[in-house]
């Protein structure tokens, strides 16, 4: 009987907060099964009152140091809470680190982003990107017969508010355009969208940013200076699901927000923030037709304007994109991941 699970989570302004969101939701699911959770990594300033109920132990790690030293911290935390199961939501879990975990008899799930196709020896390899396929990773699996691969949006971890939403009306026009690039540094993407669209399109731009975005204050000031109706700014909104469901089109990056927007039934336009978002963005394009314009800094305002105005005028294409995206994300990914880790019955 599993009594506890340890999470290793990498989260920061540059990395974003999607890792922590996934860990929280998996811990919430585990709590419903009567299983305790502990987390290693996130700084104290990201800890909320709700986290006190989710995690028996929250151990911040300011300096990761070497893989060997970090693995030693994980092992110590496992011993402290009596855990033999791990969720490694940290893309730095390299082959030497993995061998330490395996040599200590731990069973773990490893989230990865496909930008580092090194050797994997984990029990379960997870990537919810719509681009990845197991066949492509067989050369990188040290123990292919023992490593389960859970790839695709069916394994996306979503907050409960998104899974409880009613289906939107796909026939309505575009009145509000969501613009968001995760909870961390947007790397100038929001400013670029404002340059291209503010005052140039009729729909209101619904700008969303997180507290960890160093540009958040400047963006808020810029939006406040615009004429009424052009844009509105939301900093870490409490009801992100409701806000998103009230929009009709989304301009986003290739992170966690893509799954949230898909389950809300939003047609999507993608601008990648980093190299590790290129494959997910391309995967969404391949499976739903969502335009992927390239990485921030490479996308020009004219190209974004032309793409968005074309979609505003094409009801049939938006409807098709939204339907295909919603079909890929059913909101049951958290349960699928937890049950796979614990070797419970599949759902």
204 domain-assigned:
yes
pLDDT confidence of residue 347? 46
pLDDT confidence of residue 163? 84
Domains in the chain, number: 2
CATH number of the domain where residue 105 is located: 3.40.50.11190
- Longest Cα separation, the chain: 61
Same domain, 78 and 171: no
Same domain, 235 and 291: yes
Per residue in 219-259, pLDDT (tens digit) is: 999 999 999 999 999 999 999 999 999 999 999 998 889 99
pLDDT confidence of residue 14? 61
Same domain, 173 and 320: yes
Per residue in 251-301, pLDDT (tens digit) is: 999 888 999 999 999 999 999 998 889 999 999 999 999 999 999 999 999
How far is the CA of 57 from the CAs of 5, 38, 64, 244, 321, in angstroms? Answer: 11, 5, 18, 32, 42
74 domain-assigned:
yes
Long-range contacts of 111-117 (CB under 8 A, 24+ apart): 111/19, 111/22, 111/87, 113/276, 114/276, 114/279, 115/91, 115/275, 115/276, 116/91
Same domain, 187 and 264: yes
Same domain, 174 and 317: yes
Same domain, 122 and 232: no
Same domain, 58 and 167: no
Beta bridge partners of 209: 235
Same domain, 215 and 321: yes
CATH number of the domain where residue 177 is located: 3.40.50.2000
177 domain-assigned:
yes
34 domain-assigned:
yes
Sites in the chain below the pLDDT cut of 50: 347
pLDDT confidence of residue 335? 96
Same domain, 192 and 152: no
**Mean pLDDT, the chain, integer:** 93
Same domain, 9 and 129: yes
Same domain, 40 and 166: no
Same domain, 165 and 305: yes
* Structural domain boundaries enclosing 125: 4-158+331-341
């Amino acid at each position: 009987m599993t009594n506890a699970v340890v999470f290793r989570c990498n989260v920061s302004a540059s990395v974003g907060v999607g890792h922590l969101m996934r860990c929280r939701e998996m811990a919430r699911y585990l709590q419903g099964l009567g299983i305790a959770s502990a987390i290693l990594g996130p700084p104290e300033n990201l800890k909320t009152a709700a986290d006190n109920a989710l995690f028996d132990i929250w151990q911040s790690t300011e300096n990761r140091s070497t893989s060997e030293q970090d693995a030693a911290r994980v092992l110590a935390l496992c011993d402290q809470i009596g855990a033999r199961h791990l969720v490694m939501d940290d893309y730095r879990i390299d082959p030497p680190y993995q061998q330490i975990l395996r040599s200590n008899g731990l069973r773990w799930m490893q989230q990865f982003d496909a930008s580092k196709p090194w050797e994997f020896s984990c029990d379960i390899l997870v990537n919810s990107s719509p681009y990845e396929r197991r066949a492509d990773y067989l050369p990188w699996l040290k123990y292919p017969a023992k490593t389960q691969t859970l790839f695709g949006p069916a394994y996306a971890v979503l907050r409960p508010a998104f899974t409880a939403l009613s289906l939107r009306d796909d026939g309505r026009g575009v009145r509000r355009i969501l613009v968001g690039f995760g909870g961390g540094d947007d790397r100038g993407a929001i400013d670029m969208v404002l340059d291209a669209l503010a005052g140039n399109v009729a729909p209101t731009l619904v700008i969303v940013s997180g507290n960890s975005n160093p540009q958040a204050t400047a963006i808020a000031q810029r939006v406040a200076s615009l004429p009424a109706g052009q844009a509105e700014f939301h900093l870490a909104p409490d009801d992100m699901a409701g806000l998103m469901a009230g929009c009709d089109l989304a301009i986003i990056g290739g992170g966690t927000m893509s799954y949230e927007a898909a389950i809300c039934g939003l047609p999507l336009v993608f601008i990648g923030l980093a190299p590790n978002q290129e494959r997910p963005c391309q995967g969404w394009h391949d499976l739903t037709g969502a335009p992927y314009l390239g990485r921030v800094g490479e996308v020009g305002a004219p190209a974004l304007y032309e793409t968005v105005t074309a979609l505003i005028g094409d009801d049939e294409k938006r409807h098709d994109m939204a339907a295909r995206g919603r079909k890929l994300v059913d909101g049951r990914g958290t349960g699928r991941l937890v049950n796979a880790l614990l070797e419970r019955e599949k759902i």
